[in-house]
Structure 1
Amino acid sequence: MTTRDLVLVALFAAIMVVLGLLPPITLGFIPVPITAQSLGPMLAGCILGARRGFLSMLLFLLLVAIGLPVLSGGRGGFAVLAGPTGGYVVGWAFGALVCGLIAERLVREGQNEIAQIAAFVAAAFIGGVVTVYLFGLVWLSYATGNAFLPAVAASAAFLPGDLIKVGIAALAGRAVLAGYPLLPQRA
């Protein structure tokens, strides 16, 4: 890894911290809040690619694990990772990885804008929503002792906001690719 790669990894971990400054929105029927931080893995995967996006989320997870209050609501530590939201937080790393893998394979500089945006939407949705939900819902079901299908039904409340985040990540990925392409320069 180059110095540039390390800086980009640290920058996107810092973006996750900044997204955590926005207060969470708690819902009464599921112990997982709505946060802006779920946008971070989508941005990291779409802009940095699989390897650097994954490493940026791992760095952020390290910050959480050592107890820094970097999660939305000023939370951090192993207790958060072991709690009902832990699967989502860990899923962010794998969401960025999957998002980056898909973006690296589907997005090309020679494509028209619509094709690039559509590819970024697919990458952000599959990586940032499907993958993160998979990790999050499995752990939520295990940590709370509740059945999996009710957890899936309760998580439907997150979909509208996450679809907006997918659009933001796709547009940001396209804008960065057009102005300062980082995705094709795989580390």
Structure 2
Amino acid sequence: MTGRDLARIALFAALIIALGMVVVPLPGGVPITGQTLGVMIAGAVLGARRGSLSILLVLVLAAVGLPVLAGGRGGLGVFVGPTVGYLIGWIAAVVVIGLIMRTGPLRWWRTGLATLLGGIGAVYLFGIPLQALVLGIDLGPTALSSLAFLPGDLIKAVAATVLTLALARAYPPAFGDAPDRGRERVREHAAA
């Protein structure tokens, strides 16, 4: 882990925190936020390991009480509330996204698939059941109510794909893969 790696991790944690200021409250205690956009980009750019560390940094800051989550929330209470599954899902999301992104050269379809499966699928896989458990509601109605998030999450997946590809062209060293292999993949994409 180099100083550059630590800086990338901190930068993406800050991005995720800043995107938490974009909040649309919904009934059921789970707001629509911009933070999942940051999670998607962190997984695509940093990869599974460094992306996970950026998420863990945000969650540790929240656990010690700093207002780093959507709407300025923080403290241990968020880890027993209806959003806990979504927060855990962020870790799974960056792992899934990072692993898919590292299966071959950077391409728009691979980036889009990664953000859909990780940024939406993995987050919902943890978020919906734990929200149902915490609220004491059946899984079916909870899953149905979560459909309100889907249009926004699809927009975020498209935005994450576009922003990742733009970053690959503008600044290839931002990618947190193994230094030579990651840059080579980004160069392949930029040349295509």
Deviation at residue 180 of structure 1 after TM alignment: 2.1
Take 1:40 and 1:94, find their aligned partners in 2: how far apart are those partners? Answer: 14
Contact kept? 2:5, 2:176, Cα under 8 Å: no
Question: Over residues 45-78 of structure 1, what are the superposed CA-to-partner deviations in whole Å (9 max), with x where a residue is unaligned?
Answer: 1111111111100111111111101111111011
Contact kept? 1:67, 1:76, Cα under 8 Å: yes
2:144 is matched with 153
2:95 is matched with 97
2:18 is matched with 18
- The answer to whether residue 41 in structure 2 is matched with residue 37 in structure 1 is no
TM-score by length of structure 1 reads 0.90
Take 1:128 and 1:134, find their aligned partners in 2: how far apart are those partners? Answer: 10
Take 2:18 and 2:176, find their aligned partners in 1: how far apart are those partners? Answer: 26
Question: Over residues 75-114 of structure 1, what are the superposed CA-to-partner deviations in whole Å (9 max), with x where a residue is unaligned?
Answer: 10110111011111121122111111111114x15xxxxx
Take 1:186 and 1:55, find their aligned partners in 2: how far apart are those partners? Answer: 16
Contact kept? 1:104, 1:184, Cα under 8 Å: no
Aligned residue type for 1:76 = G
1:3 is matched with 3
Contact kept? 2:48, 2:97, Cα under 8 Å: yes
Identical positions, percent: 46
Greater RCO, 1 or 2 (C-alpha within 8 Å, sep 6+): 1
**RMSD (Å), alpha carbons:** 1.4
Contact kept? 2:50, 2:176, Cα under 8 Å: no
2:126 is matched with 135
1:27 is matched with 26
- Give structure 1 stretches of 5+ with no counterpart: 110-115
Question: Over residues 19-41 of structure 1, what are the superposed CA-to-partner deviations in whole Å (9 max), with x where a residue is unaligned?
Answer: 1122x21223x221111111111
Contact kept? 2:40, 2:115, Cα under 8 Å: yes
Deviation at residue 165 of structure 1 after TM alignment: 0.3
TM-score by length of structure 2 reads 0.88
Deviation at residue 184 of structure 1 after TM alignment: 6.8
